[in-house]
């Protein structure tokens, strides 16, 4: 029963979603919308699970002193500070004791984590966590320069939330991605060599497509480069991509049928 019930649910709902597509009736649409709502709710739970998982993995890494465990503190700091910024917002022009509040909350969390990962004396960490917690609660109660916004989106407009996103997250991620240019240049230099016929064709096609966009070469080659490049993109490239897309599509249908019919059971955690 423990295994058959999920299979039964998947069969019923899988079949329903297939047939619903072809039934434009009001009731069918209602059930479809209801199911979409359910899936979104499940997605929100997955988000909470993801946060818990990140916290657990980071704490375990610190506890067992795995390689680069120190960075887990940075991960946890980033996680909690952004949540805090997202739920608080400035009321006027002054921040008041806000930054001391943020520091005390972070120290509370830090001390709790320290107590969890420590194998010896936990008392001092817990006492300090309690002191910082009391301090943060007192600041939260008596400082009117800022306030909590748990159920509204005002926290998302918190200038600290935006500043951390605009000036920390964006530059970090952009930098990581821009490093690709250097690796591509190095890899192209080493790997793009006309070793045989197929490699030569690939090299030639790549050069034509890259040079087609070079405005300084268009007076030399005229329309030929553009026409050849367009032909490469619209004929061989499109044919190959279509074959891949159709192959993937058929694969998805086959996998969906296997899941609906209970042949593929990987989603239950067992093959």
Residues near another protein (CB under 8 A): 29, 32-33, 36-37, 39-40, 43-44, 46-47, 152-154, 156-157, 162, 165-166, 169-170, 172-174, 176-178, 181-182, 184-186, 188-190, 192-195, 203, 207, 210-211, 213-216, 218, 226, 233-234, 237-238, 241-242, 245
Of residues 127 and 224, the one with the C-beta less far from another protein: 224
Two structure tokens written together for 41: 């709710």
**CB 144 to another protein: min, Å:** 22
Two structure tokens written together for 194: 């006309």
Q: Name which of 166, 151, 147 is nearest 101 in CA terms.
A: 147
Of residues 123 and 165, the one with the C-beta less far from another protein: 165
Two structure tokens written together for 6: 């999920």
Two structure tokens written together for 74: 């940075």
Q: Is 137 exposed, middle or buried (0-12, 13-18, 19+ CB in 10 A)?
A: middle
**CB 114 to another protein: min, Å:** 29
Of residues 42 and 141, the one with the C-beta less far from another protein: 42
C-alpha to C-alpha distance for 21 and 29, rounded to whole angstroms: 9
Of residues 116 and 203, the one with the C-beta less far from another protein: 203
Of residues 159 and 263, the one with the C-beta less far from another protein: 159
Two structure tokens written together for 96: 């008041």
Q: Facing residues of 90 across strands?
A: 146
Q: Name which of 77, 73, 62 is nearest 118 in CA terms.
A: 62
**CB 63 to another protein: min, Å:** 28
**CB 236 to another protein: min, Å:** 10
């Amino acid at each position: 029963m423990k295994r058959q019930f999920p299979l039964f649910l998947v069969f019923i709902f899988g079949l329903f979603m297939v047939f619903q597509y072809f039934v434009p009736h009001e009731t069918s649409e209602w059930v479809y919308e209801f199911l979409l709502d359910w899936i979104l709710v499940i997605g929100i739970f997955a988000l909470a699970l993801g946060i818990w998982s990140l916290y657990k993995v980071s704490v375990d890494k610190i506890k067992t002193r795995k390689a680069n465990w120190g960075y887990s503190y940075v991960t946890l700091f980033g996680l909690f500070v952004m949540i805090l910024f997202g739920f608080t917002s400035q009321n006027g022009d002054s921040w008041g004791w806000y930054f001391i509040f943020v520091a005390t909350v972070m120290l509370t969390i830090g001390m709790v984590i320290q107590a969890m990962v420590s194998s010896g004396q936990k008392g001092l960490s817990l006492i300090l966590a309690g002191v910082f917690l009391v301090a943060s609660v007192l600041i939260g109660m008596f400082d009117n320069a800022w306030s909590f916004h748990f159920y509204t989106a005002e926290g998302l407009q918190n200038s600290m939330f935006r500043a951390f996103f605009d000036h920390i997250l964006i530059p970090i991620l952009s930098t990581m991605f821009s490093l690709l240019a250097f690796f591509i240049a190095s890899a192209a230099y080493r790997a793009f060599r006309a070793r045989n016929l197929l490699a030569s064709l690939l090299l030639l096609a790549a050069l034509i497509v890259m040079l087609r966009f070079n405005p300084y070469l268009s007076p030399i080659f005229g329309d030929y480069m553009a026409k050849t490049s367009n032909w490469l993109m619209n004929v061989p490239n499109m044919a190959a991509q279509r074959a891949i897309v159709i192959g993937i599509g058929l694969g998805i249908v086959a996998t969906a049928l296997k899941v609906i019919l209970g042949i593929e059971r990987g989603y239950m955690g067992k093959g």
